[in-house]
Amino acid sequence: MGDVSGKRPTITHVIFDMDGLLLDTEKFYTEVRETILARFNKTFDWSLKAKMMGMKAIEAARVFVEETGISDSLSAEDFLVERESMLQSLFPTSELMPGASRLIEHLHAKGVPICLATEATGGILS
């Protein structure tokens, strides 16, 4: 149950997940999957995307290549290598999510420390 006094709790610090929260990168993952599947005359559907959400990268890659029927042509590991290469070229074009800049500026003005957390590797952080 919430604070019955009506007083809001003080925000002492904020940890952001950059990928998909601060930066609009989710569309890149979909675009890359669609591009890879197009080579095999396959399409990427939203039910598969939903199935892969929340999984570790290698687990999602295994589901991806198996469910799309391309595992004989592309291993999960090779898919990840190719995906990363394609993502690295797209990430520099990512834009802030709506309201992200305003929120960060507000927190900074109020002296609230912020931290960035991500599972992303290398390029997105550059």
DSSP for 72-105 reads: TTS-HHHHHHHHHHHHHHHGGG--BPTTHHHHHH
Catalytic residue status for 24: no
| Catalytic-labelled residue, pool 3, 19, 72, 78 | 19
Q: Which two tokens stand for residue 106?
A: 């507000």
19 in catalytic set: yes
User: What is residue 114's three-state secondary structure?
Assistant: strand
**Are residues 123 and 88 in contact, defined by beta-carbon separation less than 8 angstroms?**
yes
* Amino acid letter, residue 117: A
Residue of 17, 24, 72, 78 marked active site: 17
- Along the 126 residues of the chain, how does pLDDT read in single tens digits? 555 667 888 899 999 887 778 888 889 999 999 999 999 999 999 999 999 998 999 999 999 999 999 999 999 999 999 999 999 999 999 999 999 999 999 999 999 999 988 766 554 454
CATH of domain 26-93: 1.10.150.240
Domain ranges of the chain: 1-25+96-126, 26-93
